[in-house]
A and B are shown apart, each in its own frame.
Chain A
Amino acid sequence: MIDGAVSGGLRLKALTKRFGSFTAAESVNLDIRRGEFLTLLGPSGSGKTTLLMMIAGFLDITEGDILLDGMSIAGMPPEKRNFGMVFQGYALFPHMSVRQNIAYPLDVRKRPKAEIEARVDEMLDLVQLQDFGHRLPGQLSGGQQQRVALARALCFAPPVLLLDEPLGALDKKLRVEVQDQLKDIHRRVGTTFIYVTHDQEEALSMSDRIVIMQKGRIEQVGTPEELYQKPRTRFAASFLGKSNFLTKDGALYALRPEKIDIAPKGAGQGPNRVSGTVRAMTYFGSVLKYDVTVPGMDEIEVDADAWRGGAPLAAGAEVDLSWSDAAAVRLERD
């Protein structure tokens, strides 16, 4: 660890934000643990940025409270909170060099020159931009700018780092690369990361815990595995990964496509079985995706392992679908 963060536990208590009569965040209760990588995941307009801006201090709280290590910070101006923040679009200072950008938080704190220089070098190392210190932000690629923004936000060793879709502007391949770097940096600095994204894969692969949000409310909180394996609501099940929904005995169940076995008619086995017809088959390399029409049910999506699953079944084939009892997860509400 570079900084050995000594604080950074946050508690949101019934946090509410209203814009006029519109409620952008409604009674959000959340404990954010020191040093964890917490992701706020939700569709556009679900209140992720609103929540983050309240934590950062840029938005007034309508109701509720925010505690940092037990002390209320509601009403404290953003510059007093000492939270690092990486903005959507990076928000680098265009008139300052990379070094000056990174040094800025220490500059405004009037730290000694030598200390600043040393710290900036350390940060440039951390984000692997040693050779770019004297460039202006406009002379960097998107991925490099993103790393400068990160270095600048981490430079003053904040207990909490807030990131609002920091990878939104990068292309797919670069995203994956930067995700790994970000994860690595998180491990090394030990700062609490609060990360906003609407990309479910990003959330699954990076987070210690994920908060799924919808319409300003928390839908479910948990580790990536908990959320994937035990979604509690229809929204959680369909937003994080794909899911089929079945009703049985008046209850709603979520059934992941890869947990269904597909076999030619008559060959299916297992406690839960239905018969249907393949409407379409799509080839994804490692996975074969079948859309199966089953009389009396919604269309069921099945993901079969392309290598172990046997010969592909063509559209029109009569098939049996089966799954174990544990595969179908009973949902608490719609």
Chain B
Amino acid sequence: MNGSPLRRIGTGWLLVLPFLALVVALFLGPIVNILWLSVTDPEPGLGNYAALVTSDNLVGILWTTIRICVITTAFSVIFGYSIAYAMVHVAQGSRNQMLSLLLVSFWISVLVRTFSWLMLLGRKGLVNETLVNIGIIAEPIEFMRNELGVLIGMVHYMIPYAVLPLLAVMQNIDGRVLSASRSLGATGQQTFWRVYLPLTRPGLVAASLLVFILSLGFYVTPAILGGGKVLMVAEYISVQILVTLRWGTAAMLAALMLFGVLALLFLMSRFMKLSTIFGGAKA
């Protein structure tokens, strides 16, 4: 009952302390360990990081990763935007159905989804077989085992992640503001570009960040759909750890990704409040 607020905060901390300790030990601990590895293995110093400028191979991999992530983000967010828009504007019943479908796709393992694409678009997949059999094409189209395949798989996997933050923002938009725009003489298109799109910007930023960051760590999809020809950072790291045993390089790349993501978040936070982005609240 009585007792200063400070005292109460103190008790609160006591309650969460065990979990806090657990998080620090199990989460921050390994991260520190990796940072440590990246500057000590195979020998102390910044040699691992120097490879970033000296090794063409590494630069190529990073470039591929960033390119694929950017393209994936762009397409996922565009598709996600249309889906979220449709979900907000259909009747309540259909919206619930669409939402369940969206959530179901979260539960299907990435492995299953990736292999379904192989069966659908592979050289002997459904689409190519059909097209060849009815004679529209002579040779199977190379959908898979290249960057296109990786992109198809990744965009497909990421769309639900783009939809959710966009949906949250769109549901919060006051319909009267859009009516106001119409009553002031703006056509539907003008209303979309000048009012609707700017109002959904926090959702766009959140969706882009989310998809981009998740894409950076993608492993299974590029490995399978890229057919070994498209090497992204995550796969490269695993090769370093499991095959070539250059743990220092792997740790360096992991650290690089970590700092890259943090830097991205920091940059974004300079432009808008992160809490409004992730809270999905009004701008």
Q: Contact flags (1/0) for B143-181 with A, using CB distance below 8 Å?
A: 000000000000000000000000000000010110111
Q: Which of B179, B186, B283 contacts A104 (CB 8 A)?
A: B186
Judged by a CB distance under 8 angstroms, whether B89 is at the interface is no
Judged by a CB distance under 8 angstroms, whether A236 is at the interface is no
Q: Judging by beta carbons under 8 Å apart, are A91 and B179 in contact?
A: yes
Complex interface: chain B residues within 8 A of A95 (CB): 198-199, 201, 283
Q: Judging by beta carbons under 8 Å apart, are A104 and B181 in contact?
A: yes
Judged by a CB distance under 8 angstroms, whether A190 is at the interface is no
Stretch in contact with the other chain, from A17-25, A80-88, A125-133, A303-311 = A80-88
In the bound complex, CA of A104 to CA of B194 (Å): 9
Judged by a CB distance under 8 angstroms, whether B187 is at the interface is yes
In the bound complex, CA of A171 to CA of B195 (Å): 30
In the bound complex, CA of A156 to CA of B186 (Å): 12
Q: Judging by beta carbons under 8 Å apart, are B183 and A108 in contact?
A: no
Q: Judging by beta carbons under 8 Å apart, are A91 and B180 in contact?
A: yes
Judged by a CB distance under 8 angstroms, whether B12 is at the interface is no
Q: Which of A56, A89, A107 contacts B183 (CB 8 A)?
A: A56
In the bound complex, CA of A83 to CA of B180 (Å): 11
Does more than half of chain B's interface fall in helix, strand or loop, or is it mixed?
helix
Query: What range describes how many residues of B lie at the interface?
Result: 20 to 34
Judged by a CB distance under 8 angstroms, whether B91 is at the interface is no
Does more than half of chain A's interface fall in helix, strand or loop, or is it mixed?
loop
In the bound complex, CA of A58 to CA of B283 (Å): 27
Judged by a CB distance under 8 angstroms, whether B96 is at the interface is no
Judged by a CB distance under 8 angstroms, whether B184 is at the interface is yes
Judged by a CB distance under 8 angstroms, whether B246 is at the interface is no
Give the interface of A toward B (CB within 8 A): 56-58, 77-79, 82-85, 87-89, 91-95, 104-105, 107-109, 152-153, 156, 162
Question: Can you name 20 A-B pairs with beta carbons within 8 Å?
Answer: A58-B179, A58-B182, A58-B183, A78-B182, A78-B183, A79-B182, A79-B185, A79-B186, A83-B183, A84-B184, A85-B180, A87-B176, A87-B179, A87-B180, A93-B195, A94-B177, A95-B198, A95-B199, A104-B181, A109-B185
